[in-house]
Amino acid sequence: QVQLQESGPGLVKPSETLSLTCAVSGYSITSDDRYFWGWIRQSPGKGLEWIGIIHHTGTTYYNSPLKSRVTISVDTSQNQFSLRVTSVTAADTAVYYCARASCSGGGTCYLDQWGQGILVTVSS
């Protein structure tokens, strides 16, 4: 059974870089080409926001609003992937989820496995 676990600092200072890692267990992220690996966030009391997804080959798709500040990378040797968000502000305070995206063509992806989420607070 695939499991995803987020890790990283729970507190980041404004203007600094938020860095999170998602460790995948029980499944090799290179096993199946239909799967991408992604990040989603949820501000306190708000709805879900799709950040972006990455394939084990390195192909990435970012959603526009955060695109200029976000980098998603993959480490197949460690079976994990990561998120970096630069120049953070209080508006980036959120629970960040990593998830597995099942995709069967352009615009078809859905998130079938999720991590438990990690709260990241941006504050000095």
Partner 1 sequence: QSVLTQPPSVSGTPGQRVTISCTGSSSNIGAGYVVHWYQQLPGRAPKLLIYGNSNRPSGVPDRISGSKSGTSASLAITGLQAEDEADYYCQSYDSSLSGYVFGTGTKVTVL
Which residues of the shown chain bind partner 1 in the complex (CB under 8 A)? 40, 47-50, 53, 61-64, 97, 102, 106-112, 114-117
Least separation, in Å, of the C-beta of 6 and partner 1?
10
Task: State which residue, 64 or 68, has the beta carbon closest to partner 1.
Answer: 64
Least separation, in Å, of the C-beta of 121 and partner 1?
17
Start-to-end CA span in the chain (Å): 39
Euclidean distance between CA atoms 77 and 96, whole angstroms: 23
Task: State which residue, 52 or 88, has the beta carbon closest to partner 1.
Answer: 52
Is the separation of the CB atoms in 5 and 21 below 8 Å?
no
Is the separation of the CB atoms in 60 and 54 below 8 Å?
yes
